[in-house]
Structure 1
Amino acid sequence: MAGVAVGALALTFSTSVPTASAHGWTNAPISRAKYCQAGTAQNCGNIQWEPQSVEGPKGFPNGGPADGKLCSAGIGAFAPLDDQRGGGWPTNNLRSGQSYTFKWHFTAMHSTTDFRYYITKNGWNSNAPLTRGALELNPFLTVPFSGRPPADISHSGTLPGGKSGRHMILSVWTIADTGNAFYQCSDVNF
């Protein structure tokens, strides 16, 4: 009987506590998930302990998380990432058209297909959750990658020209040997 009680307690514990299976986040531009983990952004929910775990179906933009849930990858526990907070998220200050070094930090190095970066269209509604309709669906930077990345990786690219004011960059790390990708939203100001 004691074994059954312990098993039930373990099952309850394992289903009510988020897993910390680990993966990765963007450091440049700094993502909402990382700002939450660092304490720079408040009232973030579980993402503050798991900035590396924003994992959802791959195949963006044809597949992937549903519109309005792109920043959380559709994970209910990470839903605060989808809230635009009336522009209250910390921003990364950038210059339109500048060369930029994008950086990821990984806690588990998965076999990788590529890294893709998308940006919001001029005139997007920054008060509404992020949707495909708000994004330029051709990535402004695609970095093919074969194999497992190191714990920290950088790659250079050029930010889109003709941007001013507040925008969002959606970074997608596509995993080669699973059906998933990792999604990171970074608020930027040009």
Structure 2
Amino acid sequence: MTARHRGPAAFAATLGVTGLLGLTAVPALAHGSMQTPASRSFTCRQKNPESPESAACKAAVALGGTQALYDWHEVNIADAAGRHRRLIPDGQLCSAGRAKYKGLDLARADWPATRLTGGARHEFRYKATAPHKGTFELYVTRSGYDPAKPLRWADLETSPFLTVKDPTLVNGSYTFTGTLPQGRSGRHLIYAIWQRSDSPEAFYSCSDIDFTGGEGGGTGAAPAPQPQPPSGPAAPARPTPVCPAPAEHSHSASAAPVVELDSTPASGASPAPDAGTSLKTLLTHVGTGLLLGAAATALLIRRPRRRDG
């Protein structure tokens, strides 16, 4: 085939390659975080990363930037495989040892907290923007926990107070019920670990709690309105490498009243990605790749071939 005849074929091949590349340019699906009681990343995302309402969220943005809050569902370690205590240093539990999320590790007593009753039954919800098979473990801080000091593994009970394997997915959230620990009052923290069974990847979250009585059991207070995850197009994503976090940052602050979160994202906030948005993006890229590939094939078929000579 002469040079003049290779032109259309080369162009068609280029179109095909471009179409295939389009299939790979799909943003990664997100994963999840504790929705109720709300995690620090979920709470601060709800209240507009660009202009946070709470002092703790403002401090988290000042230290780690806004992208960490837009990516509230990606506090993870890709190759954890159950080695949580070995991989995550003391003082960096809420960030899972990732520098990107270091603002979540700030030691302060004014993080927005959920009011719960010790010893009561509670329905937990974990927002799964990309569902996976796996096991949830929920730990609570020991009596004497000081929220104004960096969180250590030793501050958590040795064993989880609730372990659930493959819970039911309801309206995009894993939902499961358990009994809250007794013998706690005031500020505490629930640390959630979601270890996938179809991958070594694990996810982590810190939910600040205000325990109010109920050591004898009981039914607990009526639940406060639960925040709903943001939806719609995501803010422009930046690279999110897994890397060790820097040295601990400790900021003490006076205790603040418990904040009841509403379900309406703050005005002007850029919504975070959800599974539906990612699926639409995936289908768009697939369609584009297929159309380009078809155009390339049609061009090769319809181009008349000439004999040289």
Q: TM-score per shorter chain, which class?
A: 0.7 to 0.9
Runs of 4+ in 1 over 3 A off after TM superposition: 60-64
Measure the CA separation in 1 of the matches of 2:28 and 2:203.
Answer: 14
Measure the CA separation in 2 of the matches of 1:60 and 1:140.
Answer: 19
Superposed CA offset, 1:132-183 (max 9, x none): 110102000001228x956212100000001001000001111112222100
SS in 1 for 2:124: strand
SS in 2 for 1:139: coil
* Aligned equivalent of 2:130: 108
SS in 2 for 1:121: coil
SS in 2 for 1:162: coil
* Aligned equivalent of 1:26: 34
* Aligned equivalent of 1:144: 165
Superposed CA offset, 1:53-99 (max 9, x none): 00022425544422211100111010000102x21210000111110
**Contact 2:85 2:153 (8 Å CA) reproduced:** no
**Contact 2:91 2:105 (8 Å CA) reproduced:** yes
Number of equivalenced pairs = 169
What is the CA distance between 1:124 and its match in structure 2? Answer: 1.8
SS in 2 for 1:178: coil
- TM-score normalised over the length of structure 1: 0.82
**Contact 1:61 1:137 (8 Å CA) reproduced:** no
Q: Which stretches in structure 2 are left out of the alignment for 5+ residues?
A: 1-26, 48-52, 212-309
Larger radius of gyration: 2
Residue 171 of structure 2 corresponds to residue 182 of structure 1: no
- TM-score normalised over the length of structure 2: 0.51
Q: Which has the higher strand share?
A: 1
Q: Which stretch shifts more, 33-42 or 114-123? A: 33-42
SS in 1 for 2:150: coil
* Aligned equivalent of 2:94: 71
Measure the CA separation in 2 of the matches of 1:81 and 1:26.
Answer: 14
Matches within 5 A, 1:147-186: 149=169, 151-186=172-207
Question: RMSD value over aligned CA atoms?
Answer: 2.0
- The percent identity for this pair of structures is 36
**Contact 1:119 1:167 (8 Å CA) reproduced:** yes
SS in 2 for 1:136: coil
Measure the CA separation in 2 of the matches of 1:64 and 1:155.
Answer: 27
Residue 147 of structure 2 corresponds to residue 126 of structure 1: yes
Residue 121 of structure 2 corresponds to residue 99 of structure 1: yes
Measure the CA separation in 1 of the matches of 2:83 and 2:151.
Answer: 13
Measure the CA separation in 1 of the matches of 2:99 and 2:122.
Answer: 32
